Chain A
């Protein structure tokens, strides 16, 4: 695979994952259980969308066809998105959202730790900036998972249910294809499988403190980051996120 084609594809995977999860998390704005969590979730969503601007902005530059971050975010259809499937899963209850956030934050913290040393300086610079935000995200979501998992009988049961429901969606983070193989050979991206031990260590430490049982399964839904098959929910999310730009193309404030 040609290097720039692989890099464009990889940047879409990074930027689409943060975009779609950011959009999902923003759905809590005005609805979170308490004011403090409402503001914190909105901050997280904004951080993710800020990272999206950088990843998709660079993707547009690498592609060289004049598409900027907004164009990529608002003028592509579901089958052109390359986000991890876990990012498009519905929010569920607050505990479910925080469990999904923690599993993704832990992944992002390990991934960005690697990308900070990437042989492509534009990637390394974005990773450096995003890593500071993500260090806070994973600390916050991890503490919340521990608090709710090791909380009341009801909160514990809800967090275990969230973990069981989300577990089949984590495996996709650690699968690779020709895109990652090309970039790994060039020192630009890690082999996703190499990230798993560090992720496992973070996740098992937190889930252990949360008194939750890690499911004994490695079954993994696939198809989000390759674009082969998204879940039905992505279409609904995009319809809400994109309608204004689709109804009034290139509208600005």
Chain B
């Protein structure tokens, strides 16, 4: 039996209207303590308004070796990117 607490990935929403962003990971015995630990470790300087935690083992990730087949085909398809429009200055940052 492992004496290590499970690893949790931490996602914090910086302000209302923004998405939760991955900020890091930490160890905790359960989800409630993981949220408390995230509060202490990642929001000390008023970074967040909402915290999500998920146990790292529940995250399914793509494999680095899939990089070629997964992503390279889209590089050659410039028409998928909306880069052919002139954005009026009045629009501001998009």
Which positions in A face B, CB cutoff 8 Å? 34-36, 39-40, 43, 136, 139-140, 143, 147
B40 adjacent to A40 (CB under 8 Å): yes
Determine the chain A residues whose CB is within 8 A of the CB of B39 once the complex forms: 136
A34: contacting residue among B5, B32, B36, CB under 8 A: B5
Given the contacts A39-B41, A43-B40, A43-B44, A34 and B27 also touching, CB distance less than 8 Å: yes
A36 adjacent to B37 (CB under 8 Å): yes
Distance between Cα atoms of A35 and B39 in the complex (Å) = 14
A36 adjacent to B29 (CB under 8 Å): no
Looking at the assembled complex, report how far the CB atom of A25 sits from the nearest CB atom of chain B, in whole angstroms.
13
B29 adjacent to A147 (CB under 8 Å): yes
A40: contacting residue among B27, B29, B32, B36, CB under 8 A: B36
Q: Which residue of B lies closest to A41 (CB)?
A: B40
A-B contact pairs, 27 of them (CB 8 A): A34-B5, A34-B27, A35-B26, A35-B27, A35-B41, A36-B26, A36-B27, A36-B28, A36-B37, A36-B41, A39-B37, A39-B41, A39-B44, A40-B36, A40-B37, A40-B40, A40-B41, A43-B40, A43-B44, A136-B39, A139-B36, A140-B36, A143-B32, A143-B33, A143-B36, A147-B29, A147-B33
Q: Which residue of B lies closest to A140 (CB)?
A: B36
Interface residues in B15-63 (C-beta closer than 8 Å to A): 26-29, 32-33, 36-37, 39-41, 44
Closest 10 CB pairs of A and B: A40-B40, A36-B37, A39-B40, A43-B40, A39-B41, A36-B26, A140-B36, A36-B41, A36-B27, A34-B27
Looking at the assembled complex, report how far the CB atom of A202 sits from the nearest CB atom of chain B, in whole angstroms.
18
Beyond A40-B40, A147-B33, 9 additional contacts (C-beta under 8 Å) are: A35-B41, A36-B27, A36-B41, A39-B37, A39-B40, A40-B36, A43-B40, A139-B36, A143-B32
Q: DSSP majority for the A interface?
A: helix
Distance between Cα atoms of A172 and B27 in the complex (Å) = 37
Distance between Cα atoms of A170 and B39 in the complex (Å) = 29
Determine the chain A residues whose CB is within 8 A of the CB of B28 once the complex forms: 36
B40 adjacent to A36 (CB under 8 Å): yes
Determine the chain B residues whose CB is within 8 A of the CB of A35 once the complex forms: 26-27, 41
Q: Which residue of A lies closest to B39 (CB)?
A: A136
Distance between Cα atoms of A143 and B40 in the complex (Å) = 15
Distance between Cα atoms of A25 and B23 in the complex (Å) = 27
Looking at the assembled complex, report how far the CB atom of B4 sits from the nearest CB atom of chain A, in whole angstroms.
9
Looking at the assembled complex, report how far the CB atom of A165 sits from the nearest CB atom of chain B, in whole angstroms.
25
Determine the chain A residues whose CB is within 8 A of the CB of B37 once the complex forms: 36, 39-40
Distance between Cα atoms of A43 and B44 in the complex (Å) = 8
Looking at the assembled complex, report how far the CB atom of A69 sits from the nearest CB atom of chain B, in whole angstroms.
23
Looking at the assembled complex, report how far the CB atom of A39 sits from the nearest CB atom of chain B, in whole angstroms.
5
Determine the chain B residues whose CB is within 8 A of the CB of A147 once the complex forms: 29, 33
Q: Which residue of A lies closest to B28 (CB)?
A: A36
Q: Which residue of B lies closest to A40 (CB)?
A: B40
Looking at the assembled complex, report how far the CB atom of B37 sits from the nearest CB atom of chain A, in whole angstroms.
4
Determine the chain A residues whose CB is within 8 A of the CB of B27 once the complex forms: 34-36
Looking at the assembled complex, report how far the CB atom of A7 sits from the nearest CB atom of chain B, in whole angstroms.
33
Looking at the assembled complex, report how far the CB atom of B73 sits from the nearest CB atom of chain A, in whole angstroms.
42
Distance between Cα atoms of A34 and B27 in the complex (Å) = 9
Determine the chain B residues whose CB is within 8 A of the CB of A43 once the complex forms: 40, 44
